[in-house]
A = this chain, B = another copy of it.
Amino acid sequence: MFIAQTKAELSSHAQAWQKENLRIALVPTMGSLHEGHLSLVRIAKKQADKVIVSIFVNPTQFGPQEDLAAYPRNEARDRSLCEQEGVDAVFLPTPAEMYAPDASVTLMESTLSKTLCGRTRPSHFQGVLTVVNKLFNIARADVAVFGMKDAQQLAIIRRMVRDLDMPVKIIPAPIVREADGLAMSSRNAYLTPEQRQQALCLRRALDFAEVAWVQGNTPLDPVISKMRTLIEETPGTEIDYINAVDSDTLAPVSKLHAGVLIAVAVKIGHTRLIDNIVLSNTQH
């Protein structure tokens, strides 16, 4: 497994693979890898000849009050997990390697980034798009795999690929959960044992919505209202949002139907967790 610390090292490898017409998949991560990330790697391996995992805690997607400094890092373990999964190259740049001090070109998204997490994290998706665009270019990615847990990120990256005609295929990967239903997240490491229990309210609320949909209850307000109650009755929680939107455009919907994304963001103590479901059309 090749370890690249610099953009030049990674892109020279990627360029050589491209010249051999090998298909390159990129799995962009912020490290602190868990089973969710590893599931992305396994999907990537099926889609491409070479798999690159990038591990970069990108400062430009954190707000001034957010957890950049505290974000969990475990590079040695991450490397060893990638090696076990048969990853071909790991990219581990520093912020100084990624960004020139006078960098002045960024990407902007004007619609999908204004809702959900974008309301409380106003520059987050500008940071995400810019770094993902850079990573696609450095890795010469033909394919990139993103988890559906970050549903808004996935929609915005798909929009970037469409609007900039990027020659990259985006593969969405299903959410991976702990045995009790909590969506895997590097931020789960922040939770105390008590908060870990409280965090199950996200999944309980989403389960309620899914059951309502399967049972044919399509009016939205009572479902959202009950979800809100299920979370609020759990001590130590603070709801950021509970929203039902179109999973591609993220525009609000007025009733449940197939393709609707129901997304929640809840603070458990100081830890902000997100989770979601997309309603399937198998039931109706």
Contact = CB atoms under 8 A, between A and B. Distances in A.
Nearest to A133: B164
Interface stretch (A77-85, A98-106, A182-190, A254-262): A98-106
Interface string A144-165: 0000000000001001101111
A21 B22 CA distance: 12
Contact of A107 (B100, B105, B111): B105
A105 B100 contact: no
Contact of A100 (B21, B112, B138, B162): B162
A7 B166 CA distance: 11
Interface in A193-218: none
Given A100-B162, A162-B100, A15 B167 contact: yes
B112 A159 contact: no
A19 interface: yes
Interface of A: 7, 11, 15, 18-19, 21, 99-100, 102-112, 129-130, 133-134, 137-138, 140, 156, 159-160, 162-167, 249
